[in-house]
Chain A
Amino acid sequence: MRSQKIGSIAFWSLVVALLTYMTLPTIVVLMTSVNPTEILAFPPQGVSFDWYVKAVTYPDFQIAFKNGLIVTACASTLALIVGSAFAWLIHHYEFRGRGLLEGVLWSPLIIPHFTLGFGFLLLGGAFGVQQGYVMIVLAHMVLVMPFVTRAVHVSLANIDPALARAAANLGASPFQVLTRVTLPLVVPGMAGGWLIAAVLSLTEFTASLYVTGSRTQTLPVAMYNYIREYADPTVSAISALLIIATTLIMLVADRTIGLRRVLAIDTH
């Protein structure tokens, strides 16, 4: 019994140590963002929000944030529309070439982002729209679509098929079944999928580095360019803001759909 207790304490200490390792960088970045001095000194010399002021007034970051919002809004909304329709399709129908189509549309989960970004850069070049919004939006859209499709597919699978049958038997047209029965039931899944897509698009870096130009760069690309030239905590402040924003969005997503289901973590 005693050795079991010691074992349990050792195990939980190990878990806490590993979680500390996982969260340490986030704590460090939050600490430096409120540190008044220029050099990245530890422990912090006080509390100041100067870096936040500098970060949100820095023109490159302002433009990049605006670019990012445009790209994210377009890409995740497009992914939502196309992905939801596709999820509905594979939930209801068997058809020839379905496996191939699914394989291609899931593949961005496997394809290295730099290969995909390079592909979209070359494709943009072939159509003369290199580093323009169209290619950035398309690249982001295909990258985030698997997550939306998955979220909607899970929601669809949880609907009782008797509901649609009952509506149809009572005389509802397929269109009415879709809009008055199915759609209201998958709205939470769609909302959650859209939020995940938006967060992934907003923070996507590698593919964006390829497909954006100096005028169309998104926030992570602007941060990367800043890091390479300067070493002050302005990027810490931006990072802190991004960490807070994404955490809040993911909490909302978790509330609306249950993140664990979308990520397929079924613990119980």
Chain B
Amino acid sequence: MIQKRPFFITFLAPAVLTAVILAAAIFEVLQYSVREFIPGSLNVGGFTFANFAALNKPIYWWVLADTFFISLLTAVFSLLASYPVAYALVRAKRDWVRSALVSLSITPLFTGEIVRTFSWMLTLGTDGFINSVLRKLGVIDMPIQLMYTRFGVVVALVQFSMPVMIILLATAIAHVDRDCERAAANLGASPSAVFWRVTLPLTLPGILSGIVVVFAWTMSAFSTPQLIGGGKILMISNLAYLQGFSVLNLPFAATLSLIALVCALGSLALMKGVTGRIERRLAVN
């Protein structure tokens, strides 16, 4: 008999096995989040929703709000900083400029978060690069506090998120039909009017997906708030780690990890809805 679908089972089985292992790991988090915490023990008790009820305290709401706030700031500033780079990357006339811009903006993506966070610690520290330079120039007498501040955390997070934002924006800008811009220019629009009224609105879907991806990504940031925040700035990831490894309250750590996952999924679902609507509107006009 001739096989209808050669290799189907052979190629499907490992993928299914991997998916099952991954689902099992996430299920373990879910399972622990509805178990009772037994103080002083790593074993967990019976079924309970107490961990979710325990979230309803001002300190946890504050951490959650701060996580949202830092992620939102990061997303907005990342957009503002990335758009010019992405625009230059797509529209540069010379080939080598484009290649150089791609390399410069994408390599930070692959150095890993510890190297990048450590680099920012050296840059922002009391004896760090920024303070040393400013002192040499006589701008300041006393070092300014950049480490362990929300400002420092956001400065590092924006830099981390820029490669992803640039990739998404560059794709959107590359898809803008140049004829629309030429038509506007021929009808008398100034270059700035062409950009603000034609190019920018046409890249709106890319802008929105960039903001949401960076927002979701930053909400799950761990090492930057951990090391640059130094315990003074707590995001949900740091609280989950603290609960799991210092307090040893595994069920509550699981609850927080689960909430972070739901937030990440939720913002992406939101993006799908919003960009879908905008794309439809753009298609109609």
A residues with a Cβ closer than 8 A to B are 4, 7, 11-12, 14-15, 18-19, 21-26, 28-29, 31-32, 39-43, 81-82, 85-86, 88-89, 93, 95, 101, 104-105, 107-108, 110-116, 118-120, 122-123, 126, 138-139, 141-142, 145, 174-175, 178, 196, 199-200, 202-206, 209-210, 220, 223-224, 227, 235-236, 239, 242-243, 246-247, 249-250, 259-260, 263-268
Contacts and interface: CB of A to CB of B under 8 A. Distances in A.
Given A29-B115, A39-B127, A115-B261, 14 more contacts: A7-B191, A82-B14, A85-B11, A89-B12, A111-B261, A122-B254, A174-B7, A178-B6, A202-B112, A206-B237, A220-B112, A242-B112, A247-B107, A267-B174
Given A101-B16, A264-B167, A265-B167, A40 B125 contact: yes
Give chain A's interface secondary structure class. helix
B26 A18 contact: no
Contacts of B180: none
B18 interface: yes
6 contacts: A25-B120, A26-B108, A116-B26, A118-B240, A119-B257, A206-B222
Most chain A CB within a 10 A radius of its CB, from B31, B32, B222, B241? B222
Contacts of B8: 89, 93, 95
A172 B57 CA distance: 68
A122 B29 CA distance: 7
B104 A22 contact: yes
Contacts, number: 254
B81 A29 contact: no
A131 B227 CA distance: 23
Interface string B26-53: 1111011000000000000000000000
Given A105-B19, A115-B260, A268-B174, A24 B191 contact: no
B204 interface: no
A143 B156 CA distance: 23
Given A39-B127, A122-B250, A260-B102, A111 B264 contact: yes
B167 A42 contact: no
B220 interface: yes
A104 B106 contact: no
B64 interface: no
Interface in B190-243: 191-192, 216, 219-220, 222-223, 227, 237, 240-241
A174 B98 CA distance: 42
Contacts of B32: 122
A227 B81 CA distance: 29
A218 to B, nearest CB: 10
Contact of A120 (B7, B25, B31, B89): B25
Given A115-B261, A242-B115, A227 B11 contact: no
B5 interface: yes
A257 B221 CA distance: 30
B191 A4 contact: yes
A25 B253 CA distance: 32
Contact of B241 (A114, A174, A243): A114
Given A88-B11, A101-B15, A110-B268, A32 B102 contact: no
A8 B108 CA distance: 27
Contacts of B167: 263-265
Interface string B83-114: 01100111000000010011011111011111
Contacts of B7: 85, 88-89, 174, 178
Nearest to B262: A115
B72 to A, nearest CB: 17
Interface in B136-188: 136, 156, 159, 162, 167, 170-171, 174
A202 B15 CA distance: 23
B282 interface: no
B69 interface: no
B220 A101 contact: no
A133 to B, nearest CB: 15
Contact of B25 (A39, A86, A101, A119): A119
A146 B128 CA distance: 37
B101 to A, nearest CB: 8
B5 A15 contact: no
- Of listed B16, B107, B192, residue having the most chain A CB within 10 A: B107
B258 interface: yes
B159 A236 contact: no
Nearest to B173: A267
B129 interface: yes
Given A29-B119, A114-B220, A239-B115, A101 B127 contact: no
